[in-house]
Chain A
Amino acid sequence: MKLLTLNFLTCAVKTCKSSSASFPLHPKNCELVSDTLAPNPKLLANILPRLDWAALSTIALELNLPTLPENAPSPESLAENEQLTKDLHSLLLETQISEGALVCANCGHEYAIKEGIANFLLPNHLV
């Protein structure tokens, strides 16, 4: 699972959605892998306003990845900053969780990731 995707995910339990603690989900015992993907500045520019920057920074910290600037860059400053563009590309698109779990800080439920595919199916008592 790419870290970009992780930035879009919360706990699937409906009652958790109203709590801010349900986002982002926290990686637990995660194995990271790195892929090489063709640079895509158009994609990054499009994605930028949809990212939750605070959540992204939290995850980068939890996974011991290089820290991000405190505030999200504007599209113009990102376009000018080659290094930041490379770093974001690497962080969001190339860094992936292959195995592990994602934990909801609100209810404690854990979602397993196997071979890069996360399972968000809930047992009957949580639906």
Chain B
Amino acid sequence: MEYMIRFTQIHEKFRLAEIEALAVLEGLNLEILSYKPDSPFCLVKLQSSDDAIKLIRRSILAKAIYELWGRGSTYEELHEDVRRRSEHLWPLYKSSSFKFSVDAFQGTRSSSEQRELINAFRFLAFEGPIKMKGAEQEFCISEEWVFNSSKQGIVVPHSVYLGRFLHVSERDVIGKYDLKKRKYISTTSMDSELALITANITLAAPGKLFYDPFVGTGSFPVACAHFGALAFGSDIDGRSIRGKGKTNLLANFVQYGLTNQFGDTFVADLTNTPLRVNRLFDGIVCDPPYGVREGLKVLGHRDPTKGKTPVFKDGIAHHLEPGFIPPKKPYSFLAMLDDILEFASISLVDNGRLSFWMPTANDTDQEIKIPQHPYLEITSVCTQEFNQWSRRLITYRRLPDSELGAGGVREQRVKEIGVSADDLNPFRKGYFQGFKKATKSDTAA
């Protein structure tokens, strides 16, 4: 059976990844029949209306799903197609209360125009009452217009559809989790819409264990908890977890009534993790520091010759004093990505998912390649474009042990020699230099 997804036209590059992930999560047979990045209408094939409802009900980028009753490039074609496709269904709804609406994308229809379009469907011969609120069946006439039609003198849409409304998505929940209303945020808190999309793409669900090793103020754990997972997080900076007084990471879970889904938070460095080496997690979700605002750091003194013996003051070990803050040194972002992949490959269950965000510059000279690991298969790459740079959400699936090929030697990344944050992070360097290409004078210097 064919269905139509009505997407929103934001974060277009994430839409298919999200809907395909939801199909995997619900175990549905999904076939994409037609999808275009500049269109909000996507036709799909599913086995039943129940499947269609399951597909859409957790989606953040879809708005609704409809049973497709017809499509065409003109209303004549549409009416013919409706007869061909759905005539056998009309008797089912003969006495239902019903309502019609018009959804014109990149176009407008006055109320009288809308009434005309709706009345043209009289041939459906529905006899039930028309109810604007609480109708048993809702039908939507969808129109797709060329961008800037009125300026170009175009007076008709190029595609039209008729759909029977099945179910709404969960898009409205992004308001509930809006950072503007959240009790505890920081400059690094991830946008609630993107955090929820990430949680969907990483397959967060009830009964699962999810972990964010760069938890900050907990945006990802909150999103994963919303979908029912038990969420864990750690950060090298204890202050971001502890906050001040009652304003802390846990307060967000209390605010949203998600304390049942709160696992734990602790202070740790991913490169010196206290987690035991075992397939513990169903999902790992993070937005690692890019080294720009937060300064990517790991444990250890930046001077490799310094302090490999404990310091004692008046017989008391300095590092055992309460309030001791261990030294940290800058670390390469690229090395951290490799560490994340390595950690995921040993900590995820079979078919578990890893998602992280990484920056890239629009300028291909400065593009950071997507890291690879023989145990992890890339399932999606979605890009959010800003002005001078973009960031990508990369998602991997931990291949089941049975699927791992023989061989596949991991290319050992040469340990970066630089000491300063600038040396270790080409993206950071580029960001602060405004992504300027090297000029002749630079290379001569």
Contacts and interface: CB of A to CB of B under 8 A. Distances in A.
B274 A11 contact: yes
A44 to B, nearest CB: 9
B277 A4 contact: no
B206 A43 contact: yes
Contacts of A17: 277
Given A117-B265, A118-B267, A37 B260 contact: yes
Given A9-B274, A12-B273, A12-B274, A121 B268 contact: yes
Contact of B319 (A23, A116, A123): A123
Contact of A43 (B207, B266, B267): B207
B324 A8 contact: no
Contact size range, B: 35 or more
B278 A117 contact: no
A124 B317 CA distance: 13
Interface string B303-339: 0001111100000001110101011000000000000
B207 A8 contact: no
A122 interface: yes
Nearest to A6: B264
A5 B299 CA distance: 22
A8 B272 contact: no
B241 A117 contact: yes
Contacts of A23: 276
Given A12-B272, A40-B260, A124 B267 contact: no
Interface residues of A, number: 39
Contacts of B266: 1, 5, 117-120
Contacts of B263: 2, 4-5
A118 B299 CA distance: 16
Contacts of B299: 121-122, 124, 127
Interface of A: 1-2, 4-5, 8-14, 17, 23, 35, 37-38, 40, 42-43, 45-47, 50, 52, 110-112, 115-125, 127
Given A5-B263, A124-B307, A127-B299, A117 B238 contact: yes
B279 interface: yes
Given A46-B282, A117-B238, A120-B267, 14 more contacts: A5-B266, A8-B275, A10-B274, A12-B274, A37-B259, A40-B230, A42-B206, A42-B207, A50-B278, A118-B267, A120-B268, A120-B272, A121-B299, A124-B307
B111 to A, nearest CB: 48
A50 B206 contact: no
Given A45-B207, A127-B300, A5 B264 contact: yes
Please give me the 9 A-B residue pairs with the lowest Cβ-Cβ distance, nearest first. A123-B319, A42-B207, A120-B268, A5-B264, A12-B274, A120-B274, A127-B300, A118-B266, A119-B267
24 contacts: A5-B232, A8-B276, A9-B274, A12-B274, A38-B260, A40-B207, A45-B207, A47-B209, A52-B276, A110-B320, A117-B241, A117-B242, A117-B267, A118-B267, A120-B269, A121-B238, A121-B267, A123-B310, A123-B318, A123-B326, A123-B327, A124-B326, A125-B319, A127-B272
B164 to A, nearest CB: 34
B78 interface: no
B206 A125 contact: no
